[in-house]
Structure 1
Amino acid sequence: MNRVCSTIVGPAESDVPPAVLVHGVLAWGDDETYGFGRQRPLGASRRLILMDRRGHGDSPDLDGAHRTDYEVDAADIVELLGDGAHLVGHSYGAVAAMLAAVERPDLVRSLCLIQPGCLKVAESEPVVAENLARARASQVTLPPELTAEDYLRLITESVGMPPAEPTPKRLRAAATSMRERPCWDTDIPLESLAAAPWPKLVVVGDWAGAPDEYKRLAGDPLTVTARVVADRIGGELLEVPGFYPHVQQPERVNEALEELWSRADAR
């Protein structure tokens, strides 16, 4: 299998470990709209590896039933960790990052999860259970004639958000999302992450300013899930204004990442 592509930011050599950042849906590594483009300033002090997951950005497509798969992403992440790196994941990318950290905890220096999409771990919470039931039903009812542009418009307008510009990269990411292996149904051994010695941080937005429907369908279950994950892995929980933390509050998130990485480097 061909290797994934990544955008490299920062010095080629450094005295501190690099950081691997793994984007979520509809994005790619250095995308400033949904990805980690606004984390570029962190490259002033260490090497950043902004990964393009398969089916996104400049990475190759994934053959098979799914165009994106968190287990495949996890294997790609392990390869990018090299001799050891800090690990950051958002949404779908956070699920893959968690699995990579479970597989190779010896290569992880710290773990930051931004609104992780692993809803199943919090299914005992009613708001999450309701969301999962809805997601499972909608996954099997996508009409075959639905195009990537239709899908991109549907998933934004249906929750009151303005549609994203349908650029070729964005449409490719949308087509990939239409055939994703659902990350929200992943079984993740949180006890393995809890046992890991490195520091952990979970970031969540307060969802202020989000359309009501978007907050109800996405914000509420993601917020509950973030709190459950932070509690069960022994991670610090950071709440910031808005609903796309690393995009809307890059200074707050970047400051938190620098503090997390410095603390881990000093261990």
Structure 2
Amino acid sequence: MLLNTIELGPENGDLSRPPVVFLHGLFGRGRNFGFFQRRMAATRRTLALDLRNHGKSPHGPMDYPTLAADVRETLSAHDALPATVVGHSMGGKAAMMLALSYPTDVHSLLVADIAPAQGGFAQSDQLARRMADLSLPDFLDRAGADALLAHDIAEKPVRDLMMMNLDLGEHPHWNIGIHEIARSMPAIVGWPALAAGIHYDGPTLFIAGGRSRYIQQANHPVMRQLFPHYQLDIIPDAGHWVHAQAPAEFLHLMQQFVEAA
């Protein structure tokens, strides 16, 4: 599946270096990484992708091998392989699967606040099902959508994220594959069984939020097994949305890693 792609790059830069690719999290879209894409695009070719069922990309069943294959097909179509791949949450799992499945296509890997394991996405399974079953009125403006979603989503930042996925006005509707997402949540929360010995030897950086529990001490052995050269940096005052909650710190770590890899 070819994915919707936002591409930015320098007017006069060294395009021979690997491009930087951004993969968003659940219910997000490529433009969520806009701040970081614009900064990196000053010197590097960059591509931000809408994963399947998100943003302007096509819809269909989801699991991590499928997401990784979509990303590879799209980057190949854009002549953007090998690439440095940056992924947050669900996008981080997709990025890890891409590196493990197609290691020569990934120059280096940055994973934001997710581990290669079952878990993460607290309450997201129930949220996806509730949103898929939500009855929308004949007309909905932003205030009305906020009030409607508040019945199921107490946190304002999460409501704002979900409202990006609604086309408002007359005959409001989801512009994402909400039913496909809901059906695929067991695979998204999970992590597939891998063949013995599979690993990615390239440079790998995990960035965790100090107030998040998505990467735990118990995950470190499998992280070392799958990504033997990984490093882990922690931004103490950030939670799971580490790049949004600590953008300056995240940008600094990302730029250091990309330039050194």
- Scaled by the length of structure 1, what TM-score is found? 0.71
Which residue matches 2:190? 185
Larger relative helix fraction = 1
Q: How far apart, CA to CA, are the structure 1 residues paired with 2:158 and 2:190?
A: 27
Q: What is the number of residues matched between the two proteins?
A: 231
Pair 262,179 (structure 1): closer, same or farther in 2 beyond 3 Å: same
In the alignment, structure 1 residue 253 sits paired with structure 2 residue 250: yes
- Map 1:118-197 onto structure 2 (within 5 A): 118-120=116-118, 145-147=133-135, 153=150, 156-157=153-154, 163-164=159-160, 167=163, 169-170=165-166, 171-173=174-176, 175=178, 177-181=181-185, 182-187=187-192, 189=194, 191-193=197-199, 196-197=200-201
Which residue matches 1:87? 85
Q: Note the alpha carbon deviations across 1:185-232, whole angstroms, 9 max, x for none.
A: 222549533xx332100111012xxxxxxxxxxx32444576455444
8 A contact 1:89–1:114 mirrored in 2:
yes
Q: How far apart, CA to CA, are the structure 2 residues paired with 1:84 and 1:50?
A: 15
Instruction: Name the SS for the 2:59 alignment partner.
Output: coil
Q: How far apart, CA to CA, are the structure 1 residues paired with 2:158 and 2:55?
A: 22
Q: How far apart, CA to CA, are the structure 2 residues paired with 1:17 and 1:110?
A: 9
Which residue matches 1:220? 213
Pair 166,254 (structure 1): closer, same or farther in 2 beyond 3 Å: closer
Pair 164,143 (structure 1): closer, same or farther in 2 beyond 3 Å: closer
Instruction: Name the SS for the 1:180 alignment partner.
Output: helix
Which residue matches 1:8? 7
Structure 1 unpaired stretches of 5+: 121-127, 208-218
Deviation at residue 165 of structure 1 after TM alignment: 6.0
Q: How far apart, CA to CA, are the structure 2 residues paired with 1:78 and 1:61?
A: 17
Pair 165,77 (structure 1): closer, same or farther in 2 beyond 3 Å: closer
Match of 2:232 among 237, 241, 264: 237
Which residue matches 1:206? 210
8 A contact 1:230–1:236 mirrored in 2:
no
Deviation at residue 115 of structure 1 after TM alignment: 1.5
Which residue matches 2:141? none
Q: How far apart, CA to CA, are the structure 2 residues paired with 1:144 and 1:263?
A: 43
Amino acid corresponding to residue 74 of structure 1 in structure 2 = A
Q: How far apart, CA to CA, are the structure 1 residues paired with 2:253 and 2:44?
A: 15
8 A contact 1:21–1:51 mirrored in 2:
yes
In the alignment, structure 1 residue 18 sits paired with structure 2 residue 22: no
- Map 1:29-68 onto structure 2 (within 5 A): 29-31=30-32, 36-39=33-36, 40-62=38-60, 66=61, 68=62
Pair 22,229 (structure 1): closer, same or farther in 2 beyond 3 Å: farther
Higher Cα radius of gyration: 2
Q: How far apart, CA to CA, are the structure 1 residues paired with 2:164 and 2:106?
A: 34
